[in-house]
């Protein structure tokens, strides 16, 4: 394919022309340029409502693009080194589920790291695939899951030689990257498709100081959250395909099952512009983001009781490379949990961080950050440290090991269920997922045997007022299990 002009934004240009034409609308949405939602229009302004259009000939149709959306997706594919690319308006969750459904049929096995996002379980339920979990390496000092190793993947493939696909994470929420190139090679030698969750890596192929991406190392598909790290609007993501094992026709068929027929033109235009920006200015913008992240890490590591982890983790089990824009900070040395530190920063310093867990907090440093804001975070952490009289290191709470899967997630989803008190659920088979969000990694999945370790870990998370999701009971005093009353 000849090189395309990455300065072009075909979809955005078409929507701007549509707005300039001042078309008389007898199509949805009902607000008709905001006239039917005046309070919201007064707050947001007119332009956003003028752009909130629907599929038509000059704006193309997201489910079967042949015009400006098609041209924009061609630009997107070339910018990311893919053969085909697709706009997603249902977040990377939609992309993860589309990947699994494109690669797997009911009964097919798929090898998955245990620290995969909850959307993978949704994809497994929808596809009818059977998950084979691989335990990631654990960094006991930080109390977090890392990547998976070549040895663990080889072992899983040896035990499941007829698995259809391997699902990988690049990078993890905390910025840790496995040796993706080697893992892809191993999977492809066994004719298994490689699907990569790059929710936190949409920016990585546009600067040389980031880990390699799925498309760069020959993976078959990846899904990336452009809104998380590349500047587009929340909920907008992309799906990338470069495969001899999965056809574009199959991917399109899957997307047509799950994709809305009313895709937001605001979201898609933001993808069009974010792609242009990355392709034409990404290296310079990411260089500044890296400078800010490195400066923050250096200053935070001078603060007593805090440890901002980074590229020194490379070479430790499960860490082949690291994304420095994920500013993870271990707060155990101050005697705080990450949850307590997140609350303190928000209530006392008006700072909201991205993620907290039992031992750490994490700030995302992106192309939109300023030095002023970074300095505000550093100063807040200095102030907290100076006011903390007793600095006692808290031993990390280690993530539980894989519970045993008794029933497939799909069968568990459709089985009859009953509610039992959480404390009395040991030995039962889970009928729902429980996860801390963020990061959205299940503690227990549907179809797995509930152990005492799992119940104890959930109780610890509840005590820390962690945001837990997935259960019918919002307080998680009870859990749905398989069976009937």
Q: Residue 83: CA atoms inside 13 Å, Cβ hemisphere, count? A: 14
**Pair 155, 201 in one domain:** yes
CB 100 within 8 A of CB 193: no
Q: Is residue 397 in a domain?
A: no
Q: Which helix (H) or strand (E) holds 85?
A: strand 84-88
Rounded Cα distance, 24 and 295, in Å: 52
The CATH code of the domain that includes 466 is 3.90.100.10
Which residue, of 278, 294, 326, is where some domain finishes?
A: 278
**Pair 345, 241 in one domain:** no
Closest to 184 measured CA to CA, from 200, 173, 198, 204: 198
Rounded Cα distance, 119 and 354, in Å: 19
Say if residue 69 is exposed, middle or buried (CB neighbours under 10 Å; 0-12, 13-18, 19+).
buried
**Pair 433, 359 in one domain:** no
**Pair 15, 69 in one domain:** yes
Q: Is residue 404 in a domain?
A: no
Q: Which pLDDT score is estimated for 395?
A: 67
Q: Residue 296 in 3-state DSSP?
A: helix
* Domain residue limits at 423: 409-482
Rounded Cα distance, 6 and 272, in Å: 10
Rounded Cα distance, 148 and 137, in Å: 6
**Pair 321, 416 in one domain:** no
Q: Is residue 2 in a domain?
A: no
Q: Is residue 260 in a domain?
A: yes
Structural domain total, the chain: 3
Q: Is the alpha carbon torsion for 475, 478, 484, 485 positive or negative?
A: negative
Q: Which residues contact 335 (CB under 8 A, 6 or more apart)?
A: 305, 388, 390, 391, 392, 393, 394
User: Which residues in 365-416 belong to E strands, given as ranges?
Assistant: none
**Pair 176, 287 in one domain:** no
Q: Residue 168 in 3-state DSSP?
A: strand
Q: What tens-digit pLDDT sequence spans the chain (485 residues)?
A: 689 999 999 999 999 999 999 999 999 999 999 999 999 999 999 999 999 999 999 999 999 999 999 999 999 999 999 999 999 999 999 999 999 999 999 999 999 999 999 999 999 999 999 999 999 999 989 989 999 999 999 999 999 999 999 999 999 999 999 999 999 999 999 999 999 999 999 999 999 999 999 999 999 999 999 999 999 999 999 999 999 999 999 999 999 998 999 999 999 999 999 999 999 999 999 999 999 999 999 999 999 999 999 999 999 999 999 999 999 999 999 999 999 999 999 999 999 999 999 899 999 999 999 999 999 999 999 999 999 986 676 666 666 667 899 999 999 999 999 999 999 999 999 999 998 776 778 889 999 999 999 999 888 888 877 778 888 998 899 999 999 87
Q: What is the widest separation between alpha-carbon atoms in the chain? A: 67
**Pair 48, 122 in one domain:** yes
Q: Is residue 227 in a domain?
A: yes
**Pair 327, 437 in one domain:** no
Q: Is residue 372 in a domain?
A: yes
Q: Residue 37: CA atoms inside 13 Å, Cβ hemisphere, count? A: 16
Which residue, of 327, 352, 387, is where some domain finishes?
A: 387
The CATH code of the domain that includes 194 is 3.40.640.10
Name the token pair of 14. Answer: 């078409």
**Pair 371, 474 in one domain:** no
Which residue, of 237, 254, 278, is where some domain finishes?
A: 278
Q: Which helix (H) or strand (E) holds 278?
A: helix 265-300
CB 359 within 8 A of CB 338: yes
Q: Which pLDDT score is estimated for 393?
A: 64
Q: Which pLDDT score is estimated for 376?
A: 98
Q: Which residues contact 238 (CB under 8 A, 6 or more apart)?
A: 76, 80, 85, 86, 87, 88, 95, 202, 223, 224, 226, 271
**Pair 440, 472 in one domain:** yes
The sheet with strand 237-241 has its strands ordered as: 84-88, 237-241, 221-224, 193-198, 165-169, 109-113, 130-134
Q: Which helix (H) or strand (E) holds 193?
A: strand 193-198
**Pair 274, 289 in one domain:** no
Q: Which pLDDT score is estimated for 7?
A: 98
Name the token pair of 109. Answer: 């096995």
């009937």: which residue's tokens?
Answer: 484
Rounded Cα distance, 14 and 311, in Å: 43
**Pair 22, 156 in one domain:** yes
Q: Is residue 67 in a domain?
A: yes
Q: Is residue 59 in a domain?
A: yes
Q: Which pLDDT score is estimated for 1?
A: 65
pTM of the model: 0.95
The CATH code of the domain that includes 305 is 3.90.1150.10
Q: Which residues contact 469 (CB under 8 A, 6 or more apart)?
A: 434, 435, 436, 437, 440
Name the token pair of 60. Answer: 């193309």
């Amino acid at each position: 394919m000849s090189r395309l002009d990455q300065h072009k934004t075909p979809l955005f240009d078409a929507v701007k022309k549509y707005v300039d034409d001042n078309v008389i609308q007898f199509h949805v949405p009902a607000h008709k340029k905001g006239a039917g939602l005046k309070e919201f229009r007064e707050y947001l302004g007119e332009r956003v409502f003028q752009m909130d259009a629907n599929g038509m000939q000059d704006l193309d149709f997201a489910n079967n693009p042949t015009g400006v959306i098609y041209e924009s997706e061609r630009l997107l594919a070339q910018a990311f080194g893919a053969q085909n690319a697709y706009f997603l308006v249902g977040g990377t969750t939609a992309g993860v589920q589309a990947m699994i459904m494109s690669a797997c049929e009911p009964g097919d096995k798929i090898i998955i790291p245990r620290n995969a996002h909850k959307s993978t379980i949704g994809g497994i339920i929808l596809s009818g695939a059977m998950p084979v979990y691989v335990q990631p390496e654990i960094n006991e000092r930080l109390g977090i899951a890392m990547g998976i190793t070549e040895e663990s993947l080889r072992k899983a493939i040896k035990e499941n030689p007829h698995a259809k696909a391997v699902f990988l994470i690049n990078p993890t929420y905390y910025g840790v990257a496995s040796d993706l190139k080697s893992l892809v090679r191993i999977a492809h030698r066994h004719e298994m498709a490689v699907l990569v969750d790059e929710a936190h890596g949409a920016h990585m192929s546009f600067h040389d100081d980031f880990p390699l991406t799925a498309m760069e190392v020959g993976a078959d598909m990846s899904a990336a959250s452009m809104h998380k790290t590349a500047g587009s609007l929340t909920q907008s993501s992309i799906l990338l395909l470069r495969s001899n094992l999965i056809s574009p026709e199959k991917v399109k068929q899957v997307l047509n099952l799950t994709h809305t027929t009313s895709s937001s033109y605001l979201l898609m235009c933001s993808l069009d512009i974010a792609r242009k920006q990355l392709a034409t200015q990404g290296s310079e913008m990411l260089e500044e983001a890296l400078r800010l992240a490195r400066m923050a890490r250096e200053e935070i590591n001078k603060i007593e009781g805090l440890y901002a982890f980074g590229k020194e983790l490379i070479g430790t089990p499960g860490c082949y490379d690291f994304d420095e824009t994920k500013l993870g900070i271990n707060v155990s040395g101050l005697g705080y949990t990450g949850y307590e530190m997140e609350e303190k920063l928000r209530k006392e310093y008006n700072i909201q961080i991205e993620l907290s867990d039992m031992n750490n907090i994490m700030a995302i440093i992106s192309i939109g950050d300023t030095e002023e804001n970074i300095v505000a975070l550093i100063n807040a952490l200095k102030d907290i440290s100076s006011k903390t009289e007793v600095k006692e290191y808290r031993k990390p709470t280690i993530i539980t090991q894989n519970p045993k899967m008794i029933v497939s997630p799909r069968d568990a989803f459709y089985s009859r269920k009953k509610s039992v008190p959480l404390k009395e659920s040991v030995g039962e088979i889970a009928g729902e997922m429980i996860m801390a969000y963020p990061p959205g990694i299940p503690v227990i999945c549907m179809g797995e045997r509930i152990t005492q370790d799992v119940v104890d870990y959930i109780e610890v998370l509840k005590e820390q007022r962690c945001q837990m999701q997935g259960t019918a009971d919002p307080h998680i005093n009870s859990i749905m299990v398989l069976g009937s009353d």
